[in-house]
Amino acid sequence: MPNRKEVTVSELRLDAVSKSFGGLHAVSNIDLVAPQGSITGLIGPNGAGKTTIINLITGTLRISSGRVFLDDVELTTAEPDVIARRGVSRTFQNIRLLPEASVLDNVIIGFHRHERSSVVAGLLGLPSSLRETRALRQRGMEILKRFRIERFADAAAGSLAYGHQRRVEMARAVAAQPRILLLDEPVAGMNDVEADELGDLYEELAASGIGLLMIEHNVRFVTRMCTRIYAMASGKMIAAGPPGEVLKDPNVIAAYLGDRYAKG
């Protein structure tokens, strides 16, 4: 019988990652794995260190100790642009779009790390640059269709409703062709219907092979979306595992969910 080729799953991995500001330990000895093709949750109360973790992964903060890997490639000391080119993209807790630019132009910005034409070629209107611009606009429209917002392509991004702006931001992040997508409170401020619609899109992204690491306070949403969650408190990891187990952990209930949730 012929040997079957072993299929390995790419993953983002944090090994004993810590960050200190002077004598203050923002996060301490964090171990975490976020595989491609799966949605992983990161929960905890405000100030637990969750967004700090995202900033350490993306290189916007320097790690004090520990290591970050994407597969076998170490990203610990890499610059943010290098990390992005390696395949790590993110959205933000507070939406960061160019409000006066069109929705399509905001998404096209996400293609920047794949552009081949030089700035000079663009300024001179050379055929190579014009061809690339047409191709990027076409690809941008395809992504807008994927996120069901193609009808807003020419609208100013800042004129859209909050939920649609979230989709634009996510579409821009996906335009960078990430292997891992980091989501910082992606459904904050949304009702359950809006959150579930966005959740369907996240599941589609995971099914396409992208790994999602999601910070979120909406417990119902996390339970529905994530195959595995990590819980933090005061900069430390206090639990990890399937949602049903983690959300019943006494340490998680005490630090994050509170007695009201514990009592059902």
Domain coordinates in residue numbering, the chain: 9-87+178-264, 98-177
The reported pLDDT for the residue numbered 149 is 94
Of the chain, the percentage scoring pLDDT greater than 70 comes to 85
Of the chain, the percentage scoring pLDDT greater than 90 comes to 59
User: Over the stretch 127-183, which tens digit does the pLDDT of each residue have?
Assistant: 555 677 788 888 999 999 999 999 999 999 999 998 899 999 999 999 988 999 999
CATH of region 9-87+178-264, choose from 3.40.50.10140, 3.40.50.300, 3.40.50.2000, 2.40.50.140: 3.40.50.300
Asked if 234 and 27 count as a contact pair (C-beta separation under 8 A), the reply is no
3-state secondary structure (DSSP) of residue 186 = coil
CB neighbourhood size of 177 (10 A): 15
The reported pLDDT for the residue numbered 22 is 83
Asked if 170 and 91 count as a contact pair (C-beta separation under 8 A), the reply is yes
Asked if 115 and 132 count as a contact pair (C-beta separation under 8 A), the reply is yes
How does residue 121 score in pLDDT terms, banded at 50, 70 and 90? very low
Task: Please give the mean pLDDT across all residues of the chain.
Answer: 86
CB neighbourhood size of 234 (10 A): 15
Residue carrying structure tokens 């690491």: 213
Tell me how far apart the alpha carbons of residues 237 and 163 are, in angstroms, rounded to a whole number: 31
Is residue 125 classed exposed, middle or buried when 0-12, 13-18 and 19+ CB atoms within 10 A define those classes?
exposed
Task: Indicate the pairing of strand 228-233 with strand 39-43.
Answer: parallel
If one compares 92 and 34, the residue with the highest pLDDT of the two is 34
pLDDT score of 255 more than 90 = no
